[in-house]
Homo-oligomer: A and B are copies of this chain.
Amino acid sequence: MSLRPALLACAFVLASGPAAAQAPYRSPQQILDAAPASDWRTPDPANLLYMELDTPPGAEGRIVIELAPDFAPRHVGNIRILARQGFWDGTGIYRAQDNFVVQFGDADGDDPAKAKSLGAAVTHLPAEFHRAAAGLAFDRLPDPDGWAPETGFVGGFPAGRDPEAGTAWLAHCYGTVGAGRNSADDSSLGAELYVVIGQSPRQLDDNITVVGRVLHGMERLSAIRRGPAPMGFYADPAERTPIKSIRLASDLPEAERLPLQVLRTDTPAFRDATEARRNRVDDFYKRPAGHIDLCNVPVPVRMAPR
Contacts and interface: CB of A to CB of B under 8 A. Distances in A.
B199 A287 contact: no
Nearest to A233: B3
18 contacts: A1-B178, A1-B192, A3-B182, A3-B192, A6-B183, A98-B222, A99-B175, A129-B287, A198-B222, A199-B295, A200-B296, A202-B293, A202-B296, A203-B280, A203-B289, A206-B287, A219-B226, A293-B293
A13 to B, nearest CB: 19
A174 interface: yes
A287 B129 CA distance: 11
Interface string A211-239: 00000001100111110000101000000
Given A2-B182, A3-B192, A183-B284, 12 more contacts: A1-B208, A3-B109, A3-B233, A98-B219, A98-B223, A146-B292, A198-B198, A203-B280, A205-B289, A207-B287, A222-B222, A223-B223
B218 A99 contact: yes
A291 B147 contact: yes
A283 interface: yes
B99 A203 contact: no
A306 interface: no
A181 interface: yes
Contacts of A198: 174, 198-199, 222
A110 interface: yes
Contacts of A98: 218-219, 222-223
A201 interface: yes
User: Assembly of this chain: how many copies?
Assistant: 2
A114 interface: no
Interface string A75-89: 000000000000000
Contact of A180 (B1, B178, B204): B1
A199 B183 contact: no
A70 interface: no
Interface string A110-134: 1000000000000000000100000
Interface in A162-204: 173-175, 178, 180-183, 185, 192, 194, 197-204
Nearest to A291: B146
A203 B296 contact: yes
A182 B4 contact: yes
A274 interface: no
A157 to B, nearest CB: 16
A295 B146 CA distance: 13
